[in-house]
Structure formats: C-alpha cells, structure tokens
Amino acid sequence: MKKTRVSQILGIEYPILQGGMLWLADAGLAAAVSNAGGLGVISPMAGMEAHGEPVNNLKDQIEKAKGLTKKPFGVNIPLDLRDSGLLMDLILTQKVQVVVTAAGDPRLYTELLQSQETKVLHVLSSVRHAKAAESAGVDAIIVEGVEAAARNGFDELPLFSLIPQVVDAVGIPVIAAGGIVDSRGVVAAMALGAEGVQLGTRFVVVKESIASQKYKDAIIAAKDTDTVITCRQLIPSRSLKTTEFTQALLALEEGGATADELRDFIGHAASRTGGLEGDLENGEAYCGSSAGLIHEILGAGEVVRRLVNGCREVIDSLA
C-alpha cells in the first residue's frame, strides 16, 4: 500500500483509520489498530457509565493508550457534545498527536490544536463543508458517505459520488468513510482520489472491541438490506433495522411523532444501551450498509493486515 499524504501527515504506516465510536472506541481498540500500522482513535465516552464524567474518562483512556502503544493515535471530539470545550482543554494538556473533530464548526479549535503540534482532521459529508474545513486550516478531511454507520449528513450523498467531487474541490488530503470493509473498498476509494480510509462497523466486530456480543452477532447476521436511516429531519443515523428499538423508532416516525417525542424516545445513551449492554430492545445498534460483508470476529490487527495485503490482488485483477 503506497504512502500517501495522510500516512505522512499522521506519521503512520498505512492510511487506515479506525473511526471514533462514541461509547465503544476505547484505548484497547485504538492501540491495537495503531500497533498494526493504522491510526486508532479514542472516543471520550468509551466504556463509560451512562452518566459518567467524560473528561475523567478520556484522561484515563489516553493514559491507557499511551501505555499500550508507542505509535500515534487520535481522539475524536464531536463538537456538539456538551463537554467538548472541557475535553479540548484536556487534550491540550495531554499531547495527543491527532484530533478528529465532527458535528460542528472546524474553525473552533483547529488553530489552537495545531499550535500544540496536534494534527486536526474533520469529518463531513458535502463539498460545501469540505471547502469550509479547508478554509479553517484542517490538515485533512474525513468524507463520510451515506453508507456510514451512526450520524449521517442531511444530503445523504453516496461515497462514490461524494469522494471525487470533494477531491476536485479541495487541495487537502481526503479520507473516505462509509461502507468500506475490505480491500476492494480501499482500492475503490483510492481510485476515486481518497488518500486514506476510515472504517467504523468493521472495527465494532473485532476481538478487542468492547461492544456487546449480541451487537456483534447482529452485525454479522445482517444482510445488504438490514440497515436504515432514522430521524432524517432531526439527527439522521444509520442503524440495524432488525432490532426492536429501531422498529419502534420507525413506527413513531411513520405516526408523525414530533422532534421532541423522537428525542425523548431515543434518550441520552441509546447507542450505549444497544452497543455496550447489548439491549437491542431499548438501545440503538449503529451499523454501516456494508455489514453484509462482515462474517466473523477478527483481531483488529488482522483487519488492518487484510485490508493492506488484499490491495495488490484487487489491483492485479483490474490489470
């Protein structure tokens, strides 16, 4: 796999990122990905109690990750989290190599973080937001297609259309996310002009992942048509539609529930209840639309190795 600007900027061997995952992306997972040559990313609430303290939790996770890997790793901060300012204060004292911001204005912390030698990546889903992130000075952007698990862009643009349009519109490196599970996805994204890839759902279903077994099994059982976007007008999110929770949410939406009613139903930690506790009746099971390609639980390092080693075969098959 060739070195790209993404691997150079992040100081990693392969331009493969494990996406931030709110309650799930902990130090153990991030370190396993980083040790395999990719970039592991920690989420502030990983493994935390539903009403825990994210700043302390993130501090513990960063310290733990530093003990588990000497390679670079990142931290994901959704900027709409209530504690995002306090989390940034912590990050500035912790010398984190990479921060991945999402769900907010990339101008907020980019300069400050970069003044501490931290590289800043921003997650987005349209050409307009890509241009804005470039103007904000971020080092690279993560462009998420509608295939992606969890929060989606309102315009629902598929990765295949989005990546080349963004690549043509900006000069900074582009990392593709959404529906990538194997080397075919990696080669396709790079052929479209991406210089790196980010995977979420594939890294839920690995040995090091703290996701519940029930959630992992549900992803493995999923086929192509088993995910759906809920709450399109509010917070569009892609989840497994095979769960009781999502069926009930869809029924509420079809019945014309108001935004407040939907918010009340989802509650504060539905993806924790589904993802960590495995309670798929009362909790959400975020899942990307390529779940049908995931058939087994592998080690996170093995996922990275297969992504890298499989590229040659895919490229040769095109020649």
Ligand X SMILES: Cc1cc2nc3c(=O)[nH]c(=O)nc-3n(C[C@H](O)[C@H](O)[C@H](O)COP(=O)(O)O)c2cc1C
List of residues contacting ligand X (CB under 6 A): 19-22, 24, 43, 76, 78, 102, 123, 144, 147-150, 177-180, 198-202, 204, 275, 286, 288, 290
For the bound state, the minimum distance from the C-beta of residue 178 to ligand X, rounded and expressed in Å, comes to 5
**Cα distances (Å, whole numbers) of residue 285 to 90, 148, 216:** 29, 13, 9
**Distance from C-alpha of 122 to C-alpha of 269, rounded to nearest angstrom:** 24
Residue 33 φ/ψ region, left for φ over 0, alpha for ψ in the -120 to 50 degree band, beta for the rest: alpha
State which residue, 69 or 271, has the beta carbon closest to ligand X: 271
For the bound state, the minimum distance from the C-beta of residue 256 to ligand X, rounded and expressed in Å, comes to 28
Q: What is the dihedral of CA 37, 207, 62, 80, to 10 degrees?
A: 100
Partners of 282 in beta bridges: none
State which residue, 7 or 125, has the beta carbon closest to ligand X: 125
For the bound state, the minimum distance from the C-beta of residue 308 to ligand X, rounded and expressed in Å, comes to 17
For the bound state, the minimum distance from the C-beta of residue 211 to ligand X, rounded and expressed in Å, comes to 7
State which residue, 254 or 275, has the beta carbon closest to ligand X: 275
For the bound state, the minimum distance from the C-beta of residue 76 to ligand X, rounded and expressed in Å, comes to 5
**Distance from C-alpha of 287 to C-alpha of 268, rounded to nearest angstrom:** 19
**Distance from C-alpha of 110 to C-alpha of 40, rounded to nearest angstrom:** 20
Residue pointed to by tokens 């209530």: 82
Give the residue at shortest CB distance from ligand X.
Answer: 200
State which residue, 136 or 257, has the beta carbon closest to ligand X: 136
State which residue, 81 or 311, has the beta carbon closest to ligand X: 81
